[in-house]
């Protein structure tokens, strides 16, 4: 049995979602294959994998993950692996899978929101803490609550660019938290990001690429204030703004990936290749995680 686990992007609202503001995310047409293979004892696991295997009462398995996307790219790799391992062993409902995967991620990381695990599980465009869409489920943790809904709409073409350096979600979320606890500046930024997300949902529903791009640019500028962008991310974003409808970092930042809505795709790809970065010419997909026998 092989589990196909999709990478995810956040179009609007990363970091703000940790504090309960709305966010819009989607799965993209880039899947990792996750297999569990019986193995000898003594294997070294990452903390995420170790905790997932303990949850399932498993030992002596080799967790094989095949994807072209580097880990630490902000495209959901750890959530995909946790969710993928659970799905290979259990036939949970999507809601239970999303909930259990988030618990494991949260216990390992000690912070964060369930946006990645819920998006990978549900597939398509997923709205966190918004009013629109088809309700999916609600997840609560430490007095915080996140409700998820599915936004059924056309897929959006997207160029996903890896900046070449990894970002640590734990470090970046902790960095933003310091800002958030210090005063009203960060809270105002989060509120504005929440408003951008709400407008973003309308733009995505209409398939208005120019508006989606404009809002991504705005969201990126807000995120930059937290010091979570890098020089290379800025270079990629400025190419994205010139030859696309808009661009922004996606995920926790501090490295990781940029998403661009292409306009003049040929020129965009040419310019990006000159930067010698790893890129994925892809689109959002309606598929969430699934398994099948190979
Ligand atoms: C990570 O993909 C998104 C963040 O908002 C963290 C989280 O929500 O867990 C940065």
238 in any annotated domain: yes
CATH assignment at residue 17: 3.30.230.10
Domain termination residue (choose one: 101, 119, 154) = 154
List, chain by chain if needed, residues with CB within 6 Å of any ligand 1 atom. Answer: 10, 14-15, 17-18, 74, 112-113, 115-116, 169, 173, 251-252
Name the β-bridge partners of 63.
36
Name the β-bridge partners of 128.
23, 148
Q: Ligand 1 centroid vs 205 CA: distance in angstroms?
A: 23
Boundaries of domain holding 150: 2-154
- The two tokens of residue 75 are 């495209």
Domain termination residue (choose one: 131, 154, 177) = 154
Domain total in the chain:
2
Q: Ligand 1 centroid vs 219 CA: distance in angstroms?
A: 14
Q: Are 176 and 226 in contact (CB under 8 A)?
A: yes
Q: Ligand 1 centroid vs 194 CA: distance in angstroms?
A: 14
86 in any annotated domain: yes
pLDDT value of residue 64:
95
Q: Ligand 1 centroid vs 59 CA: distance in angstroms?
A: 29
**Residues 142 and 190 placed together within one structural domain of the fold:** no
106 in any annotated domain: yes
**Residues 7 and 144 placed together within one structural domain of the fold:** yes
Q: Are 167 and 251 in contact (CB under 8 A)?
A: yes
pLDDT value of residue 294:
75
**Residues 148 and 171 placed together within one structural domain of the fold:** no
Question: What ligand 1 atom has the least distance to the C-alpha of 76?
Answer: 2
Closest CA to 157 of 244, 71, 216, 215: 244
Q: Where are the beta strands (DSSP E) in the chain?
A: 2-12, 23-38, 61-66, 125-128, 134-141, 144-151, 157-162, 244-250, 257-262, 278-283, 290-292
pTM of the model: 0.97
Query: Cα dihedral sign for 238, 11, 73, 29?
Result: negative
Residue closest by Cα to atom 10 of ligand 1: 252
293 in any annotated domain: no
**Residues 144 and 40 placed together within one structural domain of the fold:** yes
Residue 105 host element (H or E): helix 94-109
pLDDT value of residue 99:
98
98 in any annotated domain: yes
Residue closest by Cα to atom 6 of ligand 1: 112
289 in any annotated domain: no
Pick from 8, 14, 180 the residue to mutate for probing ligand 1's pocket: most ligand atoms within 8 Å of its CB.
14
Q: Ligand 1 centroid vs 231 CA: distance in angstroms?
A: 21
**Residues 128 and 26 placed together within one structural domain of the fold:** yes
**Residues 70 and 161 placed together within one structural domain of the fold:** no
Closest CA to 223 of 194, 246, 253, 199: 253
pLDDT tens, the chain, 294 aa long: 999 999 999 999 999 999 999 999 999 999 999 999 999 877 889 999 999 999 999 999 999 999 999 988 999 999 999 999 999 999 999 999 999 999 999 999 999 999 999 999 999 999 999 999 999 999 999 999 999 999 999 999 999 999 999 999 999 999 999 999 998 999 999 999 999 999 999 999 999 999 999 999 999 999 999 999 999 999 999 999 999 999 999 999 999 999 999 999 999 999 999 998 999 999 999 999 999 987
Task: Give me the numbers of helices (H) and strands (E) for the chain, helices first please.
Answer: 9, 11
**Residues 140 and 25 placed together within one structural domain of the fold:** yes
CATH assignment at residue 209: 3.30.70.890
Question: What ligand 1 atom has the least distance to the C-alpha of 115?
Answer: 8
Through-space distance between the first and last CA atoms of the chain, rounded to whole angstroms? 6
**Residues 141 and 33 placed together within one structural domain of the fold:** yes
Domain termination residue (choose one: 154, 181, 216) = 154
**Residues 74 and 104 placed together within one structural domain of the fold:** yes
pLDDT value of residue 40:
83
pLDDT value of residue 188:
97
Q: Ligand 1 centroid vs 147 CA: distance in angstroms?
A: 15
**Residues 38 and 101 placed together within one structural domain of the fold:** yes
Residue 78 burial by Cβ neighbours in a 10 Å radius (0-12, 13-18, 19+) = buried
**Residues 25 and 82 placed together within one structural domain of the fold:** yes
290 in any annotated domain: no
236 in any annotated domain: yes
Closest CA to 6 of 104, 118, 114: 118
The alpha-carbon radius of gyration of the chain (Å, integer) is 18
pLDDT value of residue 234:
98
**Residues 149 and 168 placed together within one structural domain of the fold:** no
Question: What ligand 1 atom has the least distance to the C-alpha of 116?
Answer: 2
Q: Ligand 1 centroid vs 112 CA: distance in angstroms?
A: 6
Question: What ligand 1 atom has the least distance to the C-alpha of 25?
Answer: 2
């Amino acid at each position: 049995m092989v589990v196909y686990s999709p990478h995810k992007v956040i179009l609007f609202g990363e970091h703000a979602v940790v504090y309960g503001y709305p966010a819009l995310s989607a799965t993209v047409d880039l899947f990792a294959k996750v297999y569990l293979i019986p193995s000898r004892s003594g294997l070294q696991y990452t903390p995420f994998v170790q905790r997932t295997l303990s949850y399932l009462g498993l030992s002596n398995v080799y967790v094989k993950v095949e994807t072209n996307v580097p880990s630490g790219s902000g495209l959901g790799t750890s959530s995909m692996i946790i969710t993928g391992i659970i799905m290979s062993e259990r036939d949970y409902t999507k809601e239970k899978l999303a909930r259990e995967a988030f618990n494991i991620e949260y216990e390992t990381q000690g912070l964060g929101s369930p946006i990645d695990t819920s998006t990978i599980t549900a597939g398509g465009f997923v709205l966190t803490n918004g009013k629109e869409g088809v309700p999916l489920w609600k997840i609560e943790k430490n007095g915080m609550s996140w409700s998820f809904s599915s936004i059924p709409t056309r897929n959006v073409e997207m160029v996903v660019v890896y900046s070449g350096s990894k970002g640590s979600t734990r470090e970046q979320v902790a960095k933003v938290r310091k800002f958030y606890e210090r005063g009203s500046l960060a809270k105002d930024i989060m509120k504005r990001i929440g408003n951008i997300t709400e407008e973003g949902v309308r733009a995505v529903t209409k398939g208005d690429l120019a508006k989606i791009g404009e809002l991504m640019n705005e969201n990126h500028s807000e995120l930059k204030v937290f010091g979570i962008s890098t020089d290379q991310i800025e270079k990629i974003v400025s190419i994205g703004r010139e030859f696309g409808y808009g661009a922004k970092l996606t995920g926790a930042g501090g490295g990781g990936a940029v998403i661009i809505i292409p306009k003049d795709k040929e020129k965009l790809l040419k310019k990006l290749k000159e930067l010698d970065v790893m890129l994925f010419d892809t689109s959002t997909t309606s598929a969430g995680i699934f398994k099948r026998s190979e």
